[in-house]
């Protein structure tokens, strides 16, 4: 087992304080979460005054002052260290356009700023102090906050904003949302930017906000153009409240809090984020004090709470599995090319049992692909009922469908298993799926694979198909919370998306591609709702991405930190500036 050196252990003289962590479920915005916590009697830090002699006239009485105890003053400015242990960094790059959600949220967010940022109280703050859609609906105007400084002391202006939005719209950018919505960016003056969109784009501002996860992040134009991108990637700067200090690839990244910042000065002077893929190591680090906060798998919760530590849930993600190449003509003669087989593989899975055992009764029912429980702008109860019918447990029907499809004795299939950031449930899900499929005759071979290698195999850019290694195979997968209607489906089922499970790029399900894109650009609520419902039913009936249920991410934390997180918080490093010393 990998373990941290003793030099990273918390010093024995560190204060024991009460922790209060306020967080929310990620499934229903605004809902309160009751956290499990252990309260420890606080230790009072005190100082004793020196003994003095007091001489009085008229009687000349000398008395010795009694020692008094007063609380020590809190240090001025940031102090102490906050250490978090994250399951993964994914791409581990400081280049925003090449980053995915996990990379930004767990790795680089502390030093960067979004054009639009969501504060824990729900207010939108960030580089843009205000923004609005033009009356004709064909452009967005962003008014840039004055006085925002990069960590080298230079001022952020509209030139930096245009530079970053143009890069997000490039063909090499990881996510397609800005590229699909943005036509061009014009600078009105030093602190005003107008973004012309491809038709009406009511959700463009969300694409360049913290809600997107990895778009709308501001890097320094002049710094990169003067020194080169490679230099920036090794010596990154941003406008966030933490500045970069050092990095050990595959191990950790260290930041230091600024003493002044336009939005907020952090409470902790030093922030160390460890990447620790091994669940047992993260738990050990948390228990021994080598980490103050750590991402946890659900089955670690009882052990962590039994050790006197506390836990809380973050935003939920849809757990499920993908059958790669379901609509790819190359897989037409493979088992997954037959919808009867895909339905059988779904019917073989006992989702209720998985929720009760693997996910510790914290899993919410399955939703259609690309959505999670609590998804905005849809009838959640209706779609949970529809998903329950489609994804019911019926192994007898599964065997019959396999027989009807010509596989009475089952068939072999590879089940690629990879870590995906905070989605710690993916690793234990693979053997569970393997076991259920074996009961209906399907022999799944689990293939552990690094996420970066998986991304090379899976479709990741327009007009690139699934690699031969993945074609006709399967993998557990997770779909995160998406605030924009249709955004989750766009990721998985459109030409511009990351995966294109419907093979729209080669002419399959082309109408679905148009429908999903229309959902994301329709300003009329009623029309958008009708189109969204049609698209949801479409992807539900495809049996290419089959959800199992909505699973919350979980963190464990020690008694020296207090946090306030918004309902949609996916990771602690994203809100490191809001971490406080517990009192």
Average pLDDT on 365-373 reads 86
Bigger pLDDT: 252 or 213?
252
User: What's the rounded Cα separation, in Å, for the pair 504 and 522?
Assistant: 21
pLDDT digits (tens, 9 = 90+) for 469-478: 899 999 999 8
pTM across the whole model = 0.73
Tens digit of each residue's pLDDT (9 = 90 or more) over 37-87: 333 322 222 223 333 333 333 333 334 444 444 445 567 899 999 999 999
- Average pLDDT (320-335) is 93
Question: In the prediction, which pLDDT does 73 show?
Answer: 53
Distance between CA atoms of 68 and 77, rounded to whole angstroms?
Answer: 27
297 with 279: CB under 8 angstroms? yes
Residue 557: pLDDT over 70: yes
Asked whether this chain's domains 113-222 and 314-552 adopt the same fold, the reply is: no
What is the per-residue burial (b if ≥16 Cβ within 10 Å, else e) of 451-476?
beebbebbbbeeeebbeebbbbbbbb
Above 90 in pLDDT, residue 100? no
At 386, give phi and psi (nearest 5°). Answer: -65, -40
Does residue 491 have a pLDDT over 90?
A: no
Mean per-residue pLDDT, 346-375:
89
Name, of 64-68, 389-393, 507-511, the range with top average pLDDT. 389-393
Q: In what order do the strands lie in the sheet with 561-564?
A: 21-22, 561-564, 580-581
Distance of alpha carbon 260 from alpha carbon 263, whole angstroms: 9
| pLDDT greater than 50 at residue 453 | yes
pLDDT at residue 25 above 60? no
Lowest mean per-residue pLDDT among 34-43, 418-427, 460-469: 34-43
CA distance 429 to 354: 9
CB 317 within 8 A of CB 551: yes
Tell me the mean pLDDT in the region 82-100: 92
Rg (CA), the chain: 26
What would the DSSP string read from start to end of 6-27? GGGSPPTTPPP----EE-B-SS
For residues 435 and 271, what is the distance between their CA atoms, to the nearest angstrom?
Answer: 42
Supply the DSSP symbol for 491: H
Q: Does the pLDDT value for residue 2 go beyond 50?
A: no
DSSP state of 557: E
CB 85 within 8 A of CB 550: no
Q: Which CATH number fits domain 15-37+76-110+240-309+558-583: 3.30.1440.10, 3.40.190.10, 3.30.70.890, 3.40.30.10?
A: 3.40.190.10
pLDDT per residue as tens digits for the range 563-572: 877 767 888 9
Q: Which of 431, 428, 432, 422 is nearest to 552 (CA)?
A: 422
Average pLDDT, the chain: 84
The whole-number pLDDT of residue 201 equals 93
Candidates 3.50.50.60, 2.40.30.30, 3.10.105.10, 1.10.760.10; CATH matching 314-552: 3.10.105.10
pLDDT of residue 153: 98
CATH domain 113-222 topology: Dipeptide-binding Protein; domain 1 (3.90.76)
Binning pLDDT at 50, 70 and 90, where does residue 8 land? very low
Q: Do 218 and 160 meet the contact criterion of CB atoms below 8 Å apart? A: yes
Side-chain half-sphere CA neighbours of 91 within 13 A: 19
Domain ranges across the chain: 15-37+76-110+240-309+558-583, 113-222, 314-552
Asked whether the predicted pLDDT for residue 21 surpasses 60, the reply is no
More confident residue, 150 or 518: 150
Residue 454 has pLDDT above 70, yes or no: yes
């Amino acid at each position: 087992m990998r373990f941290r050196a003793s030099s990273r252990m918390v010093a024995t003289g560190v204060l024991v304080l009460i922790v209060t962590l306020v967080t929310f479920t990620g499934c229903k915005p605004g809902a309160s979460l009751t956290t499990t916590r252990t309260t420890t009697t606080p230790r009072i830090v005190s100082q004793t005054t020196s003994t003095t002699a007091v001489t009085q006239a008229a009687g000349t009485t000398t008395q010795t002052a009694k020692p008094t105890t007063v609380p020590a003053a809190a240090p001025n400015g940031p102090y102490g260290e906050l250490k978090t242990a994250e399951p993964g960094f994914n791409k581990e790059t400081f280049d925003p356009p090449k980053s995915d959600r996990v990379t930004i949220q767990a790795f680089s967010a502390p030093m960067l700023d979004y054009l639009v940022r969501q504060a824990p109280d729900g207010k939108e703050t960030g580089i843009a102090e205000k923004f609005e859609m033009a009356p004709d609906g064909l452009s967005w105007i962003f008014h840039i906050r004055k006085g925002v400084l990069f960590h080298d002391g230079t001022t952020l202006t509209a030139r930096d904003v245009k530079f970053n939005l143009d890069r997000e719209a490039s063909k090499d950018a990881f996510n397609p949302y800005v590229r699909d919505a943005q036509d061009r960016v014009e600078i009105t003056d030093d602190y005003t930017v107008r973004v012309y969109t491809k038709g009406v784009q009511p959700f463009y501002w969300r694409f360049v906000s913290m809600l997107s996860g990895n778009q709308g992040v501001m890097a320094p134009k002049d710094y990169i153009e003067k020194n080169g991108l490679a230099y920036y990637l090794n010596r990154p700067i941003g406008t966030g409240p933490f500045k970069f200090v050092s990095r050990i690839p595959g191990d950790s990244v260290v930041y230091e809090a600024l003493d002044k910042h336009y939005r907020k000065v952090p409470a902790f002077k030093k922030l160390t984020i460890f990447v620790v893929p091994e669940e047992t190591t993260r738990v050990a680090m948390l228990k021994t004090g080598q980490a103050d906060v750590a991402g946890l798998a659900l089955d670690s919760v009882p052990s962590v709470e039994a050790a006197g530590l506390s836990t809380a849930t973050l935003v939920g993600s849809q757990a499920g599995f993908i059958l790669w190449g379901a609509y790819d003509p190359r897989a037409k003669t493979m088992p997954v090319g037959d919808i009867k087989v895909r339905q059988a593989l779904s019917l073989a899975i006992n989702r209720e049992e998985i929720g009760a055992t693997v996910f510790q009764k914290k899993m919410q029912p399955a939703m259609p692909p690309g959505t999670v429980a609590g998804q905005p702008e849809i009838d959640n109860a209706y779609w949970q009922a529809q998903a329950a019918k489609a994804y019911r447990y019926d192994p007898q029907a599964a065997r019959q469908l396999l027989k009807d499809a010509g596989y009475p004795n089952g068939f072999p299939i590879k089940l690629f298993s990879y870590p995906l950031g905070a989605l710690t449930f993916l690793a234990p899900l693979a053997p569970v799926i393997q076991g259920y499929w074996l009961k209906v005759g399907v022999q799944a071979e689990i293939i552990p694979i690094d996420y970066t290698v998986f991304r090379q195999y899976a479709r990741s850019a327009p007009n690139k198909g699934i690699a031969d290694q993945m074609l006709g195979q399967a993998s557990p997968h997770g779909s995160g919370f998406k605030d924009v209607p249709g955004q989750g489906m766009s990721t998985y089922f459109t030409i511009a998306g990351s995966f294109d499970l419907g093979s729209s790029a080669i002419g399959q399900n082309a109408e679905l591609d148009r429908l999903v894109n229309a959902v994301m650009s329709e300003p009329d609520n009623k029309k958008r709702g009708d189109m969204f419902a049609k698209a949801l039913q479409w992807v539900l009936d495809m049996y290419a991405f089959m959800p199992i249920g909505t699973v919350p991410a979980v963190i464990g934390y020690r008694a020296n930190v207090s946090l306030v997180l918004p309902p949609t918080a996916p990771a602690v490093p994203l809100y490191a500036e809001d971490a406080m010393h517990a009192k």
